[in-house]
Structure 1
Amino acid sequence: GSEVKSDFIFYQCDIGDFKAVKAVFANHKIDAVINLAARAGVRASVEDPWIYLDTNVKGTLNLLECCKNSDTKKFVLASTSSIYGLNAMPFKETDNTDRPLAPYSATKKGAEAICHSYHYLAGIDISIPRYFTVYGPAGRPDMSIFRFIKNIDNGRPIPVFGNGKQTRDFTYIDDIADGTIRCLAPFGYEIFNLGSNSPVELMYVINLIEQRLGKKAEIEWLPMHPADVLATWADIEKSKEKLGWRPTVSIEVGVQNTVDWYLKNREFLNRLKV
C-alpha cells in the first residue's frame, strides 16, 4: 500500500521483492535513491543469515537494477562500521574489509561490491556512507541505548556483554542524516566513514542515562558474543575533506536528547514489542 502526504509518498514493500520495487520505479521519475532498507544487527544475523542475504544483498541488487533500467543517476547505500571487523583503529575507508566477523557485515560487504559493479558497468554514481553506532530519538528499538533507557526506567536489568569497557564511536542521528544527504553530490564511487571520531565506553553511556533518568541501572552481565568487536573508531578525515561534514552533537547532549524524547513518548514506547 502507499500513503501520500503532499510531497512525500510512502510505499510499504520489501526491497527483496523485485516486482514491488519495479512498480515504484514505474510510477515515478526517480533522480536518486538512498537505500536505508536493511536487516541490521550483528547477533541476530548469526541466528538467521538467510533473511540478511535476501534483504541486504538481493534487495540492493533489485534497487540497482531498477536504477539502471530507469536511468536513475545516483545511488547512496547505507553501510556499516561492522564491516571493518578486527582492523587496527581508527578505521579508514581504504582498510581491507574482506574478513567480516558476522553474516550481517558480510552481506553489507556484498552490497557494497554489487554497487561497485553497477557503477562500473552502468555508470551509476554511488556513495557509500559507513555508519558508526547510530543513536538518537526515534531510533531502532532493538539498539542498546534505547533498551538501556527503557529497562532502567522500568527497573528491569540491562544486558551488558563482556565487562562494559568495550568502546563504540556513537554517532547522533542528526549528524548521520546530514552526512547521508551530503552523499547525494556526484563523487563517482566513494566510501565515507560517518562516525563521531571519539569512542566512549559503554559504561559511560549507561552512567549518562542513569543521571538523566535519576535511576540506577541493574546490570545483567553476559559473556561477550564472538561476533561482537571490542571497539569501533572512525577516521573521518575523508568525510571532512570531500563531504565538508563533521559531527556536531556530543554523546552527552545526544543521550540527553534521546532520554528526553523517551520520557515524552514513554507510554507509546513501552507498548512496543522488542
Structure 2
Amino acid sequence: MHAQHRRFFTNMGERQLPLYMESIGFNQAQENFNRPSGYPCYHWLQTIRGEGEFTFGGNTVLLKENSGVLLLPNEPHEYKPTSDIWETMYITFMGTQANAILSSLGLNQSSLYQWDLESQLQNYAARVLDSISSDRDVSELDVSGDTYRFLILLKKHGRVNNLPSISHAIERLEPVLILMEKSYGDPNLGLELMASEIGISPRHLNTMFKQTFRMTAYAYLIMFRIRKAKERMTGDSSITVKDTAHHVGFRDVSHFVATFRRIEGVTPEQYRILY
C-alpha cells in the first residue's frame, strides 16, 4: 500500500490575522524528522494510529494514540516511528496575537498532551482537514476559527504531566458548582462547606479550582455572586443595591459595593445606568 499524504496550506495574505493556520495534514506513514532549529510556527503533531518517539526539550516521549505534542516556534525537535505503521496528523499555526492567545490559555510551553478515548480532540484535526478539502468556499476566517477551536479543545480536554483535564476537573467539581448555584445567597457559604460537598480538604479544593479556573474556590464564589447581582439589578430597576447585596450573600453593603467596583470597574448604581 502506498503512503497517503493530504495537506492544506494557507495563503500569505492570511498572516495578518490574530490566529491563522499555516498548514494541516495527514501522513499515513510518518517518516523520521530532525529539525535542529525547530519550525518557525507553532507545531502540533498527534498520533492517529501506531506510535512514535518524539524528542524535544531534552526529553524523549512515546507518542501513542490519544496523545500529541505542541511545540513553540523554533523549538529543536526530532521524531521517528517506533511501530510498523505510524499515522499522524499535524497542524502548524501562527498569527499576530498567537503568543498572547496561547499565553492566556496557558498553552505557552512545549508539552506532551494526552486525552481520553472519547474526547473530541482525537478526530478534530481530521474533521477540519476533510472540511477544508471538500469546501470550495472555505475562507481564511473559517480556518482561523478552526485553529482557535482546536486550542480550546486542547485546553479543555488535554492532560499535561498526568494532571486531570479541565473537563474531568469540572465533572469532579460539579457538586460544588451546583451548591454555589443553590446557595450563593447564603452568607455562611464558605470554603469549608464547599470542600465538604465532595469530601476533600479546603486546600485541595483551592488547588483544583486554581488548575481549572485559575482562581481559588472563594474567589470563584465571589465572581459568581457578582454575576448574579448584575442579572438581578438589570432585570428590575426597583431593586435597591442593599437588597441586591443581601440577596447574593453579602452581609455588608459597603463590602458589596467595593467588591463590585473592583471587579467591574464601576459601582453597582453606575452599572445599572449603563445597562
Q: Report the TM-score when normalising by structure 2.
A: 0.25
Q: Which has the larger radius of gyration?
A: 2
Greater relative contact order (Cα 8 A, min sep 6): structure 1 or 2?
Answer: 1
